[in-house]
Amino acid sequence: MEIFNPKFQYYEGDIRYSFPIGRISLYDFVSVHQNPKPKTREMIDHIATLSGKDKNEAKRHLHYFTPAVCVKDNYARRYANITNFTGLAQLDFDKLDCDPIELRDHLFSTYPEVVCAYLSPSKKGVKGLLRIPVCTSTDEFKDYYHGFLKEIEGLDGIDLAPQNAVLPLYISYDETMLFRDDAIEWTVKADRTVEYVNLIDPQAEVRVARFTNSYYEKITRQIFEKKLANIDGDGHPQLRSACLILGSRCAAGYIDQTNAEIIAEQAVLNSTYYSKGVAGYLKTAYWAMNEGMKNPKEYK
């Protein structure tokens, strides 16, 4: 029997300091989630009581992982620095209308490709790792990821953010975390040029609303990326404008604040232009996002 136990990197909790500090095996990743240190458990319990900016600030005291990829040692967590893919992809379900324990158990028992499934730090969501072939590019990674999303599109609370292979996965704990070391590979790709929607129950108002939010999150990302597509002269004004929009849509509920911060951070870290002054541009991005969140903007 094949034993699947890849290694991947972990980081200090502050996503603004995005350099790996070590590597951890899948077995050890499972172990620290089933039985974390008392201090870590206390911090996670405390974070579960917070929201918004306070929650995101507190999370910076926790470690996080990038289970899908490894980057060059002593280099920042960004696409350009990826050295290898691990054969893992993150799964994330939040804003659930169902029992998270039931969703966790269903996901694990239904799909032998799911390596592990566990409750989020708030105990209101579900996270997991999916086994896929070891990829050679971010596009190939997204093809497999969206292939699985299409398979599970009827499940509640699917988050699209893990299509970003370098997305941080913060430590959690779930003593009853489900795990298998003989997961098979998910090998079906999706055509990402084709839109797909949830047609499991078109009469269910909750599911329709959830699809609508996913759609608007995608639109928000596209607007943000378009704003930064062609930087002309000083990059601060364009970055500021894009992040003001991102913050305003975040405040309106179309995108999670943590995900929005990661999108802004990656835009800076993955840009050749912004590499000339990463610290200054990150400061501009965080300031503009916070200002944008003071003025929520809804789509008409």
Residue 214 lies in a domain: yes
> Are 118 and 153 in the same domain?
yes
In a domain, 135, yes or no: yes
pLDDT (average), residues 103-119? 96
pLDDT more than 90, % of the chain? 42
If one counts the domains in the chain, the total is 2
Task: Answer yes or no: do 47 and 170 share one domain.
Answer: yes
Asked if the structure places residue 34 within a domain, the reply is: yes
- Per residue in 220-272, pLDDT (tens digit) is 888 888 888 777 667 788 899 899 999 888 877 778 777 888 888 888 888 87
pLDDT at 192: 61
The whole-chain average pLDDT of the chain stands at 85
pLDDT > 90? residue 102: yes
171 and 243 co-located in one domain: no
230 is in which domain, residue-wise? 205-292
- What is the rounded average pLDDT of the residues 266-281? 83
User: Do residue 80 and residue 140 come from a single domain?
Assistant: yes
Long-range contacts of 44-52 (CB under 8 A, 24+ apart): 44/121, 44/171, 44/172, 44/173, 47/121, 47/122, 48/121, 48/122, 48/123, 52/257
Give yes or no: residues 125 and 164 share one domain. Answer: yes
Residues 35 and 171 in one domain: yes
Pair 93, 164 in one domain: yes
Grouping H, G, I as helix, E, B as strand and the rest as coil, residue 245 is helix
Cα–Cα distances (Å) from 162 to 152, 159, 235, in that order, read: 15, 7, 27
In a 13 Å sphere around the CA of 182, the CA atoms on its Cβ side amount to: 2
Query: How far is Cα 264 from Cα 242, in angstroms, rounded to an integer?
Result: 9
Answer yes or no: is pLDDT of 196 > 50. Answer: no
